[in-house]
Amino acid sequence: MTEPLLKVRGLKIGATAYPPGEKPVAIKIVHGVDFDLEAGKVLGLIGESGAGKSTIGLAAMAYGRGGVEITGGEVWVNGRDILKENLRSLRRLRGAEVTYVSQSAAASFNPAKKIMEQVTEAAIFQNKFSKAEAEARAVELFAKLGLPDPENIGNRYPHQVSGGQLQRCMTALALCPEPDLVVFDEPTTALDVTTQIDVLAAIKEAIAATGVAALYITHDLAVVAQVSDHIMVLQQGDMVEYGTVDQIINNPKEDYTKALVSVRSINHEEKTPTDTPVLRVENVTARYKGTNFDVLKNINVDIHSGQTLAIVGESGSGKSTLARVITGLLPPSDGQITFDGRVLSPDLATRPIEDLREMQMIYQMADTAMNPRQTVGTIIGRPLEFYFGLKGKAKQKRIQELLDEIELGDGFQDRYPAELSGGQKQRVCIARALAAKPKLIICDEVTSALDPLVADGILKLLLNLQKIEDVAYLFITHDLATVRAIADSIAVMYQGKVVRYGPKSQVLAPPFDDYTDLLLSSVPEMKIGWLEETIEHRRMESAGN
């Protein structure tokens, strides 16, 4: 058997943490991982955040991000153990034999340089091609990746192309020097689902056309199933399972893999709308100060008490702006909002305190929504004091009740946000919102920053709390799986308009309007060949029209 392109043996990776006022602590991130990757094959690395996926990917370039250090093991690339090489020879490996595609192309392109210069830089610097050859190759790659105007797009600056286009440019950047291996680090995670499918297809085609091998890192099993030959499942720095895509998806052996495959197991029975909605949005049109463009155009939706309205749409569709209008942060230019039978003042500043209490918010980033210098007890206790004047024992008792409701045990009152995990932080934010005994909670992408299994737990908690507290949710998300899991009714937003609205069973059932169809069919399914099927299906349809 020939030597594999990439051979990793006993790879150990660590970092040093500097807790304030204490001695530096060595942290282990990856504890001994082995795998092989044959030339021209794609290996998917999958796991939740903190599993060590990116760290392992960068180890294929002998690179440690920040204070990360490779502490042991061997990484063989093209028959050389690159961990034994010095920086000088590593610099000939990076950007020539192994290249990298990051999650955020927007941050990974230098804003001050033209795209072409950055795409061809490594190929020219590494003496793989002359400038003219590299540029010709870049144009070829732009075309292969389906970028518009491939001849000239390289003359633009990064901010002059869209996020999806820039992600393709990043792929061109990685492929331009004709590497043997490309490390794709969550290349489509930051994209909208309708953009993701095209970029994914472009990446897959480019991999096939150039015959390059790839490490494909993602937390989304459905995505990795579309592009990989093999999958390695990682959990907290250990390999859990390794196998072909077919085996991992259809016949997972380990419990953890099974949990990843079957995630989003929530079954939620849709409730029928009541006669009197708790919140009624009527003919709302809104624009931001100093602009003459309506971000929201004539929005009409109802939320019924104790039920969930999911607002779904891509970034820029106006979802969060609607939340700002409802909360009074952005007074609408037209239309009105009725809450519990009374018309709300359009401006937050003039709303009475009771109106403020009855409508609470939970945010995407639990991290930045809490004061890092306050304990959990103080954070949850604040609305209790503010709205109900609770003090002393009564306040303590209520805080403990709320902590029990969000399934955090004793001892959390005195902890600081930094001592909590992502899921626990979001739970504290939920408790803070509940503390005000609201009738409506606006949840703005509350599970988007969480790992799938953790997000699942949060959604279950929210549904459970809805039963106990009879609170209504306005649930803003771009994730259709979340919508399926918890909504009673759905509003699909596109370019500031509600294009489809009604009970979940109706909205998610055909016949669809064009946009909802596109949105629904773009959600990756955990099925081998889904990508090709969908792309083929779309091609046929557009040919038919």
Contact set with another protein (CB under 8 A): 61, 63, 65, 90-96, 99-100, 102, 104, 107-113, 118, 121-122, 125-126, 156-157, 159-160, 173
Is 118 or 466 the residue whose CB approaches another protein more closely? 118
**Which residues on adjacent β-strands are paired with residue 42?**
214
Count of other CB atoms within 10 angstroms of residue 51:
24
Is 102 or 360 the residue whose CB approaches another protein more closely? 102
Is 42 or 62 the residue whose CB approaches another protein more closely? 62
Provide the residue type at 157 as one letter. Y
For residue 158, what are the contacts with CB-CB under 8 A and spacing of at least 6?
105, 106, 109, 110, 111, 115, 118, 166, 169
Is 121 or 340 the residue whose CB approaches another protein more closely? 121
Is 49 or 160 the residue whose CB approaches another protein more closely? 160
Is 162 or 421 the residue whose CB approaches another protein more closely? 162
Rounded to a whole number of angstroms, the minimum distance from the CB of residue 6 to another protein is 16
Q: 193-210 and 530-544 are packed helices; what angle lies between their axes, rounded to 10 degrees?
A: 110
Rounded to a whole number of angstroms, the minimum distance from the CB of residue 354 to another protein is 44
Phi, psi torsion values for 232, nearest 5 degrees = -115, 125
Is 156 or 497 the residue whose CB approaches another protein more closely? 156
Rounded to a whole number of angstroms, the minimum distance from the CB of residue 513 to another protein is 29
Rounded to a whole number of angstroms, the minimum distance from the CB of residue 119 to another protein is 10
Residue 77 near residue 93, CB atoms below 8 Å: yes
CA dist., res. 361 & res. 373, Å (int) = 21
Rounded to a whole number of angstroms, the minimum distance from the CB of residue 512 to another protein is 32
Rounded to a whole number of angstroms, the minimum distance from the CB of residue 54 to another protein is 11
Rounded to a whole number of angstroms, the minimum distance from the CB of residue 112 to another protein is 4
- Tokens representing residue 345 in the block: 């003042």
Is 102 or 522 the residue whose CB approaches another protein more closely? 102
368-382: burial string, b at 16+ Cβ within 10 Å, e else: ebbeeeebbbbbbbb
Rounded to a whole number of angstroms, the minimum distance from the CB of residue 77 to another protein is 13
- Tokens representing residue 201 in the block: 């297809």
Rounded to a whole number of angstroms, the minimum distance from the CB of residue 94 to another protein is 4
CA dist., res. 319 & res. 310, Å (int) = 10
Rounded to a whole number of angstroms, the minimum distance from the CB of residue 90 to another protein is 8
Is 101 or 441 the residue whose CB approaches another protein more closely? 101
Rounded to a whole number of angstroms, the minimum distance from the CB of residue 82 to another protein is 12
Is 179 or 383 the residue whose CB approaches another protein more closely? 179
Rounded to a whole number of angstroms, the minimum distance from the CB of residue 148 to another protein is 14
Is 61 or 380 the residue whose CB approaches another protein more closely? 61
CA dist., res. 34 & res. 195, Å (int) = 34
- Nearest-CA neighbor of 417 among 461, 373, 464, 451? 373
Residue 223 near residue 235, CB atoms below 8 Å: no
Residue 304 near residue 273, CB atoms below 8 Å: yes
**Which residues on adjacent β-strands are paired with residue 76?**
7, 81
**Which residues on adjacent β-strands are paired with residue 491?**
311, 501
Question: How does strand 308-312 pair with strand 489-494?
Answer: parallel
3-state secondary structure of 517: helix
CA dist., res. 356 & res. 529, Å (int) = 50
Alpha helices in 391-472 (DSSP H): 392-405, 422-435, 452-469
Residue 162 near residue 191, CB atoms below 8 Å: no
Is 121 or 238 the residue whose CB approaches another protein more closely? 121
CA dist., res. 330 & res. 333, Å (int) = 9
Provide the residue type at 46 as one letter. I
